[in-house]
Amino acid sequence: MATMASEEDKYFEVALGLVKSAGRMVRDAFDRPFSEVQTKASNTDLVTETDQNVEILLTRGLSDAFPDHQFIGEESAAAGKKIEFTDAPTWIIDPIDGTTNFVHRIPMICICVGLAVKKELRMGIVYNPITNELYTARTGQGAFKNGFRIYVSKTEELSKSVIASTLGIHNIVSQGPSWLDKSLSNARRQVEAGVRGIRSFGSAAINMVCVAQGSLDAYVEYGLHCWDVAAAAVILKEAGGVVIDPTGGEFNMMSRKVLCASTKELATQLSGMLTHANYEPEG
């Protein structure tokens, strides 16, 4: 009987091949001048035919190879598929993280594929086919960018940090109009703490892999989904980073929020200064 390790080698190999094919699909679409756009839950929640086709390519390819595996995917969920997270090997897929960037032809986009087994994240692939940056990690085996090992920075102080955060405009729908005050005052406190800069790349996974490779020191966001963070969380942890709930508790990819940092000290400092938002967990 195949060992767990060799089974997972096979999972990784198949997923990587499919992500590369999906990358060609995204790249071809990106090279055309525009995409037809539809909205989902709100006018800031966008989807294109490419998002849908990439998710079909990945889920079909993986389920042909591994018929007993389960799937959680952004566009399947948008089409009404219930999010069910069980002990079965489960692929968590965001066909294009950064759809608004994709629609506006801003090259900060990526395909995200994560795998959980018995509810534990085991591997993550984040691929930007425009810049050709491929991030991969498997639990216990380190994190890599285009085959080279990556590590987080050693930054422990906010005053030496470049961080990513976002206004999270879409949260006004779920959290009400007071969201904007909360979000702006969180940003204000970060500025007052003396951060070197605040970035917002429009893709949770790109923000997270930027922390993983040491370009950014921390990242916090509210109102995300498991497909935005699952794959990148493995990469960040394997790069030596900290992934927690913004309140300081344990990270739960179903809780719709995340705080990432290069060090525990920085994570604690950032977490302690934020006014938090709560969500109904998904799944």
User: Among all chains, which residue has been given the structure tokens 């525990």?
Assistant: 264
Q: Is 75 in the site for ligand LIP (CB under 6 A)?
A: no
* Three-state SS letters, 125-183: EEEECCCCEEEEEECCCCEEECCEECCCCCCCCHHHCEEECCCCCCHHHHHCCHHHHHH
Among residues 8, 55, 75, 94, the one that binds ligand LIP under rule CB under 6 A:
94
For residues 54 and 96, is the Cβ–Cβ distance under 8 A?
yes
Q: Is 74 in the site for ligand LIP (CB under 6 A)?
A: yes
Among residues 175, 203, 263, 269, the one that binds ligand LIP under rule CB under 6 A:
203
Look up 96 and say whether it is catalytic: yes
Q: With respect to ligand LIP, which residue has the nearer C-beta, 97 or 238?
A: 97
Q: Which of 8, 51, 55, 74 is catalytic?
A: 74
Look up 74 and say whether it is catalytic: yes
In the chain, the N- to C-terminal Cα span, in Å, equals 32
Q: With respect to ligand LIP, which residue has the nearer C-beta, 121 or 224?
A: 224
Q: Which of 96, 130, 206, 244 is catalytic?
A: 96
Count the residues of the shown chain that bind ligand LIP, applying the rule CB under 6 A. 13
Among residues 122, 138, 145, 170, the one that binds ligand LIP under rule CB under 6 A:
170
Q: Is 76 in the site for ligand LIP (CB under 6 A)?
A: no
Q: Is 213 in the site for ligand LIP (CB under 6 A)?
A: no
Task: Compute the distance between CA of residue 276 and CA of residue 278 in angstroms, rounded to an integer.
Answer: 7
Please, which of residues 249-278 interact with ligand LIP by CB under 6 A? none
Q: With respect to ligand LIP, which residue has the nearer C-beta, 44 or 139?
A: 44
Q: Is 224 in the site for ligand LIP (CB under 6 A)?
A: yes
Q: Which of 48, 99, 100, 136 is catalytic?
A: 99
Q: Is 98 in the site for ligand LIP (CB under 6 A)?
A: yes
Element (H or E) spanning 264, and its range?
helix 264-272
DSSP letter string over 20-68? Answer: HHHHHHHHHHHHSS---EEESSSTT-EEEHHHHHHHHHHHHHHHHH-TT
Q: Is 99 in the site for ligand LIP (CB under 6 A)?
A: yes
Q: What is the nearest approach in angstroms of ligand LIP to the Cβ of residue 128?
A: 13
Q: Is 228 in the site for ligand LIP (CB under 6 A)?
A: yes
Task: Compute the distance between CA of residue 88 and CA of residue 90 in angstroms, rounded to an integer.
Answer: 6
**Side chain identity at residue 119, one-letter code:** K
User: Among all chains, which residue has been given the structure tokens 């950064």?
Assistant: 98
Look up 99 and say whether it is catalytic: yes
Q: What is the nearest approach in angstroms of ligand LIP to the Cβ of residue 213?
A: 17
Parallel, antiparallel or unpaired: strands 90-97 and 70-73: parallel
Please, which of residues 112-141 interact with ligand LIP by CB under 6 A? none
169: closest CA among 182, 154, 188? 182
Interface with ligand LIP (CB under 6 A): 74, 94, 97-99, 166, 170, 202-204, 223-224, 228
